[in-house]
Amino acid sequence: MERIGTIPILGATSTWGTEIGLTATQAARPRTALERGRYHPGRIPNEYNLFLPGEREALKNSPRVVEMGIGRVTCQGGKHLQVGESIDGWRLLIILPWLNGEATAVFEKHVTHQGAIAYVTPKGEVAHIPKRIGELSSIRPRPINTPDGVRFERPWPYVPGPDVWGEYILNSAEDPCYENVAALGLEMIGWTLVGNEEGGVEKSLWLEADGTSRQMNADPQLAWAPDHIGRLFDPSHFVPELYRGYSSYPAHYTYEAGYSKRTLLGGYAPAADIGVWNPNAKAGYEIMMVMAPGAESRPIARLRVVLPPHPPNNLVTRSDHEGGGTPGEQVEKYWNGSAEDFFSTLAGVWTKWHHFFEDRMKVEIPDEWLLDAARAGIVLSRCSYRGLEPTYQIGEGAYTKIPERSHALFPVAHYEFVWAHQLWNLTDEVEPYFQHYLDHFILPDGNFLYNTQDQVEAPLNVGVFLEDSARTYDYNRDLEALRKRLPILRRMIDYVLRRCRYTKSTFPADDPRHGLIWGSAEADNGDPADDFPESHVYYYENASWIWRGLKEHSRCLQRAGAEHQDSELSREGAEVAQIAAAMRTDVERSLNKTLADRNPEMKKANIPPIFAFDTDRKPTELTSYENHRYISDWWLSDWGNPEIDEGHFRHRALAGLQILGMNVVQDYPITAGFMEHGTLAGRIRQDDYRPFLLTLYGNMCYAMDSGNRYAPEDSLIPGNFPGEGNPYAWSAVVNSELQPTLGLRWLLCYEEHDQDVVHLQKAAPRHWFNPGERISVQGCPTRFGSISWVTESLPTSQSPRWRVEIEIGDFKGATLAVHIHPADGQPLKSASVGEVRADRVILTPEALAGKTKITLEVS
């Protein structure tokens, strides 16, 4: 049991920082005393996945059609329905005469916060698309609930200090989750993407919070008639019943700030589903917009308009307009196509993306919102590539470069794109992208093409690409694909080793630079005209990542050689292993010397160096790039020294540059979400999983739109919106979109680098283990083979019990650590198999040997 004590949250003056030299003003923070582990933070419902009692079941049970007619259907029980009529709340929207070879009825139903579209034939339901838009009248700004006064408001200027918001959540009786993290402050309101894989950023659309497209109409008369031609899509043009003002020149329907629920259809498909409500007029509309496959496809939209029950005095009902209706009724409108066009396209798009994930790695978790986010990251990224051509930008924006150049070729974006696919068992689907990048954007000398243009990126990216390559072979065992990329990988290795050989030949062994890799550590700080050995200090994350990449690459080559009796691959792998081992020795020597040479302040605070000769700084000194990029890359590389990892986290905390576990920039409360996977990588390795959850949910609640997953490179927090600040900072980018994708996979299944250990549910929050909850993962890849499991929390009146069913399949050679976190915080007592520890059960390779399935009973 954790010792109960009094913790400071918000109220009087803090003494934080006085021991490390902060001024009284810098150290001041309001505080209040709360008992650690004895209080509950404020909570709000997650209306993106919230069902009231009975509603989930109601949406599952779509009508049963027994006969299709012209313009009508006959349902089970003999009830006849015409288009527009309803049964059990399911409204018949359309009868498609031909969908996959037969007539299909399309129904829609809404409950308080959710909805569903069902495609039904006499043979049964053929598609069921969940919607995160329910009754329009339930739409409202995200509420804030701060009973203890710990409210997250944008500080201006930001004065470095303790992460009081994170401490408040972590020291409470609850694990971090949407409900308590989102309750602290304002949400981000972002744009919603509509696109496909073929059209890329040029053909995609961004929709504003009210559904208006950011893109303008291409009409040549736009320059002199913007008020007449305007946006490519404007919902007010299609809902004349909601116009107000003079009937001869109506003004647009008023959008009330915050009364917008911005989502993706199905939770993750590249189709917009936006609900807008006006609480004063008691009217609103829903916009659904989808784009068929094809480079020249155009978007098709459906508008569902709910008219006010009693029109206000300033509202004019235009009965003379096409589609005009009676106040209070629901009106359907379509743009760029018919109802049949829309629902036929929607069925195809949903089927494609649903099977894209379900056929490779099926996941069920108590937090559907988090699962939607993980999948949406991959989908939105794929719909921003132009075929196989890479991108950094999600949709069109400040970073869009066509033809691809500069940031479109950002190695960090592409390695994370590949990495995310691999972790979700989509290695084969991403292999063509990986090879295309290697073929076209790696120069003959092994450098990245990106580096020859505006900026110079970190050589550490070679190490990440090498690990991506090793993981590719680990997961798909495709020897021919490995052989195809090997010549390019050899050039990349030679490129970084030339830089390493320079430092070994130039500096003596007792010089900290000996054996390190020279070069920039960040594109914004690199210049192709100033890319020389002494242009930058010698960063440890460059060396750490190159070592990691070489180590994984050597393991991969030796594995492939052994599995395919290829002595040349085995020999090459052994040679690379020797190089990696020598590099490890050199870097360890450098690190130890720099650690020994630190000034007394750094030693007292146990702050590790970020670069060679980094020995003379105050523990509160941490630059923005050091905070959001350099130490993030260090954590990602997993040097294998927990003390140094923890020292970097301590440095961030002492510098006061952390909010809700996320990095922040001094003076401006900005978090650089594009590198937060580094923080997550460092946190997932720690025994305490709660800081990992804090960073994950903090990022998802404040650095991205909680519904449509719009995630900019940098976010002003809280309450950011597109257009606020630097246009590059608020551009949605691949890296930021993929944070939940990597984070959820690591939460569910994390493979240790340097030990043969795989952790299941390592960061699953306690409430996921409440009675009746279920975690299911089918087809999860690891380097030891694929694994599937289901964890069920069993109903009981006694002490909690769990059953874990594990399908081992071809999984072998590793220890499984099955983590379970009881809601009461008590240690586990017993398990039917394996070694029981406080929060996990250890299954050794011997315990798994000879088995294809194993059932684990835990109490």
Rounded to 10 deg, the angle between the 368-382 and 339-358 helix axes is 110
Q: How far is CA 384 from each of CA 395, 675, 703, 738, rounded to the nearest angstrom?
A: 5, 19, 20, 13
CA torsion 265→271→272→273, rounded to 10°?
Answer: -30
Position 599 pLDDT exceeds 90:
yes
| % of the chain with per-residue pLDDT over 90 | 78
As its CATH architecture, domain 757-858 has: Sandwich (2.60)
Give tens-digit pLDDT for 314-357.
444 433 333 444 446 788 999 999 999 999 999 999 999 999 99
Containing 283, the helix (H) or strand (E) segment is: strand 283-291
684-713 burial, b if ≥16 CB within 10 A, otherwise e? Answer: bbbeebbbbbbbbbbbbbbbbbbbbbbbbb
Position 393 pLDDT exceeds 70:
yes
pLDDT at 341: 96
Per-residue confidence at 408, pLDDT binned at 50, 70, 90? confident
- Report pTM: 0.93
Give tens-digit pLDDT for 241-298.
665 433 333 344 578 899 999 999 999 999 999 999 988 888 899 999 999 999 999 9
More confident residue, 756 or 405: 756
Position 31 pLDDT exceeds 60:
no
| Mean pLDDT within 160-172 | 96
pLDDT at 730: 87
Position 526 pLDDT exceeds 50:
yes
Per-residue confidence at 12, pLDDT binned at 50, 70, 90? very low
Amino acid at 119: Y
pLDDT at 453: 67
The helix/strand/coil state of 514 is: coil
Give tens-digit pLDDT for 413-463.
999 999 999 999 999 999 999 999 999 999 999 999 886 667 788 999 999
pLDDT at 272: 98
| Mean pLDDT within 295-309 | 90
Position 240 pLDDT exceeds 80:
no
pLDDT at 2: 29
Please give the full DSSP string across 305-363, using - where no structure is assigned. Answer: EE--SS--TTB---TTSTT---TTSEEEEEESS-HHHHHHHHHHHHHHHHHHHHTT-EE
* Nearest one of 8, 125, 35, 31 to 75, comparing CA atoms: 125
Please give the full DSSP string across 399-433, using - where no structure is assigned. Answer: T--SS--GGGG-HHHHHHHHHHHHHTT-HHHHHHH
Position 405 pLDDT exceeds 80:
no
The helix/strand/coil state of 509 is: coil
Amino acid at 572: E
| Mean pLDDT within 735-746 | 98
Cβ-based neighbours of 234, under 8 Å, separated by 6 or more: 212, 213, 252
Q: CA-based diameter of the chain, in Å?
A: 90
Per-residue confidence at 799, pLDDT binned at 50, 70, 90? confident
Give CA–CA dist 600/318, Å, rounded: 77
Containing 261, the helix (H) or strand (E) segment is: strand 260-264
pLDDT at 431: 98
Position 665 pLDDT exceeds 90:
no
Give tens-digit pLDDT for 706-738.
999 999 999 999 999 998 888 888 899 999 999
Give CA–CA dist 373/364, Å, rounded: 13
Position 71 pLDDT exceeds 60:
yes
More confident residue, 512 or 400: 512
pLDDT at 318: 37
* Nearest one of 268, 272, 260 to 142, comparing CA atoms: 260
First CA to last CA across the chain, in angstroms? 17
Cβ-based neighbours of 361, under 8 Å, separated by 6 or more: 424, 425, 426, 777, 778, 779, 780, 781
Q: Is the dihedral of CA 525, 528, 530, 531 positive or negative?
A: positive
Query: Parallel, antiparallel, or unpaired for β 774-780 and 757-760?
Result: unpaired
| Mean pLDDT within 560-583 | 98
Residues in the chain: 859
Give tens-digit pLDDT for 503-512.
999 999 999 9
Give CA–CA dist 170/680, Å, rounded: 16
- Averaged pLDDT of the chain: 90
pLDDT at 246: 31
Give CA–CA dist 36/781, Å, rounded: 39
Q: How far is CA 105 from each of CA 66, 96, 724, rounded to the nearest angstrom?
A: 11, 6, 44
Instruction: Give start-end residues of each CATH 2.60.420 domain in the chain.
Output: 757-858
